[in-house]
């Protein structure tokens, strides 16, 4: 079995790793229903809309074996195709009112400048009719639109892109250059990341431990998984590695599996989990439980990631917004693994994008708002093995004559590899 569970061209898992089946990615947005109340100092109210579902196709490209086949280099571009029959609404038509992300990002850069300059910039932005909240189609917010403020900046600084979208220029692109261990030398290293963009560790965070690139990309795991171990995944959208712990035994299409999920300590406040202090940048500048600030790897934008509806977060974040209802069934990220082979049978990745909204001196429109981690949208990416593959897996585990059939359909594509937000 060890020879079959390696990232080598002759192994039975290689083809599924290189050309995995598609997964489905749902986008949900938080439509702001009372922006005037929030701007006046009250509590914002949001209504969830969606899902807007896309079929995600990903295949490894430029695959190159290194160091006598013990490592393999690959890119993993993803393409997204809208699936109307799995969606509620039309992204080209449906309107969403949400945070004006370009405006807030630019405002966030100005506190280091003089009050006089901030006031001049504020007056200019007001003359353009730009507000803290914007109203756009779902398609525009996802895939891009020409932003008036960015367009003005582009005329002065051509390197600034005049278009903005959460997924702008990401359809058909990859999340970086990866080198993986093939598992040829040690089956426990199967699929583990050796380098990402040429780095064995990051430099964004304030501790060596936080900067480590641990685990796999979430699509493969070593065989012979036990309930007591922690599984590590490098999540590029979180700009960090996270761990998953055993939750319970489950059954998926007649296959016994172990469910692993991120425990509450992954995003726990450093007050309760000191190892997370390394994710506070600058050192000591920490948020509470259940949220993770990623400004350092998002060009300074005040972006915070969390689980949907602030699941597992401090109640203060949940209660700051009307319309949130976190629950385990809809908002937990999990991975169901067949423990003998380490093959993912079912997986669900859920992550939420938020922005920090606060008062900015020199911008009178922000003078009354209460500092809030404001939800923008969340994703729900799902993959489950198909019926034929499940039947083959059952046969393999029963050691029947069918055990030699290819198991190359068993892997879940993109099950837990990198958010938000892509």
The pLDDT, as a whole number, for residue 369 is 96
Residue 81 located in a structural domain: yes
Mean pLDDT over the full length of the chain? 90
Residue 341 located in a structural domain: yes
Residue 409 located in a structural domain: no
Give CA separation, 208 vs 213, 276, 277, 278, 279, in Å.
10, 11, 11, 8, 10
Token pair for residue 247?
């939750």
Residue 174 located in a structural domain: yes
Residues contacting residue 287 through CB under 8 Å, at least 6 positions apart: 269, 280, 293, 304, 373
The pLDDT, as a whole number, for residue 142 is 98
User: Which pLDDT tens digit goes with each residue over 128-158?
Assistant: 889 999 999 999 999 999 999 999 889 988 9
Q: Which residue is listed with tokens 């086949």? A: 69
Residue 416 located in a structural domain: no
Kindly state the average pLDDT of the residues 367-394.
91
In which domain, by residue range, is 65 found?
A: 2-399
**Residue 295 CB coordination number (10 Å):** 17
Kindly state the average pLDDT of the residues 32-37.
98
More confident residue, 343 or 2: 343
User: Which pLDDT tens digit goes with each residue over 82-105?
Assistant: 999 999 999 999 999 999 999 999
Distance CA 67, CA 10 (A): 17
pLDDT surpassing 90 at residue 9: no
Residue 161 located in a structural domain: yes
Least confident of 111-125, 228-242, 347-361, 364-378: 111-125
Residue 419 located in a structural domain: no
**Cα torsion 87, 93, 99, 104: sign:** positive
Q: What is the full DSSP assignment across 312-358?
A: TS-HHHHHTEET----HHHH--EEEEETTTTEEEEEEEEEEEEEEE-
pLDDT band at residue 263 using 50, 70 and 90 as cut-offs? very high
For the chain, the domain total comes to 1
Do the strands 321-322 and 44-58 form a parallel or antiparallel pair, or are they unpaired?
parallel
Distance CA 103, CA 281 (A): 23
The pLDDT, as a whole number, for residue 3 is 62
What is the percent of the chain with per-residue pLDDT over 70, rounded to a whole number?
93
Q: Which residue is listed with tokens 């109340």? A: 37
pLDDT surpassing 90 at residue 394: no
Token pair for residue 216?
């796999």
Contact 13, 392 (CB under 8 A): no
Residue 405 located in a structural domain: no
Quick check: helix, strand or coil at residue 149?
helix
The pLDDT, as a whole number, for residue 412 is 40
Contact 26, 381 (CB under 8 A): yes
Quick check: helix, strand or coil at residue 292?
strand
Query: How remote is the C-alpha of 352 from its chain's centroid?
Result: 8
Kindly state the average pLDDT of the residues 300-306.
94
Q: What is the full DSSP assignment across 233-273?
A: EEETTTTEEEEEEEEEEEEETTEEEEEEE--GGGG--TTT-
Distance CA 104, CA 94 (A): 23
User: Which pLDDT tens digit goes with each residue over 220-261?
Assistant: 999 999 999 999 999 988 899 999 999 999 999 999 999 999
User: Which pLDDT tens digit goes with each residue over 147-196?
Assistant: 999 998 899 889 989 999 999 999 999 989 999 999 999 989 999 999 99
The pLDDT, as a whole number, for residue 237 is 81
Kindly state the average pLDDT of the residues 348-376.
95
Kindly state the average pLDDT of the residues 344-351.
94
Token pair for residue 421?
């937000």
The pLDDT, as a whole number, for residue 284 is 87
Contact 108, 302 (CB under 8 A): yes
| SS3 per-residue string spanning 27-94 | EEEEEECCHHHHHCCCCEEEEEEEEEEEEEEECCEEEEEECCCCEEEEECCEEEEECHHHCCCCCCCC
Residues contacting residue 239 through CB under 8 Å, at least 6 positions apart: 202, 204, 294, 296, 297, 298
Cα radius of gyration (the chain): 22
pLDDT band at residue 126 using 50, 70 and 90 as cut-offs? confident
């Amino acid at each position: 079995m060890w020879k079959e569970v390696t990232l080598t061209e002759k192994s039975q898992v290689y083809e599924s790793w290189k050309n995995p089946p598609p997964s489905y990615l749902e986008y949900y947005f938080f439509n702001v229903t009372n922006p005037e109340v929030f701007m006046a100092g009250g509590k914002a109210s949001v209504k969830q809309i969606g899902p807007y579902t896309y079929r995600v196709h990903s295949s490894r490209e430029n695959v190159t074996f290194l160091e006598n086949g013990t490592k393999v280099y690959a890119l993993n571009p993803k393409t997204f195709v809208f699936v109307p029959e799995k969606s509620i609404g039309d992204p080209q038509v449906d309107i969403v009112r949400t945070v004006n992300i370009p405006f807030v990002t630019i405002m966030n850069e100005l506190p280091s400048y003089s009050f006089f300059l901030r006031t001049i910039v504020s007056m200019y932005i007001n003359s353009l009719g730009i507000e803290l909240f914007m109203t756009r189609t779902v398609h525009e917010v996802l895939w891009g639109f020409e932003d008036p403020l960015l367009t003005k900046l582009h005329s002065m600084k051509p390197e600034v892109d005049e278009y903005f979208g959460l997924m702008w220029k990401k359809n058909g692109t990859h999340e970086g250059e990866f080198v993986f261990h093939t598992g040829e030398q040690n089956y426990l290293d199967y699929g583990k990341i050796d380098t990402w963009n040429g780095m064995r560790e990051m430099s964004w965070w304030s501790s060596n431990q936080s900067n480590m690139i641990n685990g796999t990309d979430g699509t493969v795991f070593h065989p012979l998984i036990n309930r007591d171990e922690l599984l590590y995944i490098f999540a590029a959208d979180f700009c960090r590695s996270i761990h998953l712990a055993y939750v319970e035994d489950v059954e998926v299409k007649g296959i016994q599996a172990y469910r692993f999920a991120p425990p509450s300590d992954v995003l726990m406040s450093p007050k309760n989990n000191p190892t997370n202090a390394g994710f506070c940048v600058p050192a000591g500048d920490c948020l509470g439980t259940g949220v993770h600030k990623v400004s350092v790897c998002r060009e300074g934008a005040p972006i915070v990631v969390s689980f949907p509806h602030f699941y597992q977060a401090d109640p203060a974040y949940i209660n700051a917004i009307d319309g949130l209802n976190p629950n385990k069934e809809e908002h937990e990220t999990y991975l169901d693994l067949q423990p003998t082979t380490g093959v993912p049978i079912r997986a669900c990745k859920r992550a939420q994008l938020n922005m920090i909204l606060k008062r900015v001196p020199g911008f009178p429109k922000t003078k009354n708002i209460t500092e809030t981690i404001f939800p923008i949208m969340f994703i729900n990416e799902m993959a489950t093995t198909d019926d034929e593959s499940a039947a083959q897996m059952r046969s393999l585990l029963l050691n029947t004559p069918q055990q030699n059939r290819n198991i190359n359909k068993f892997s879940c594509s993109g099950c837990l590899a990198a958010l938000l937000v892509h």
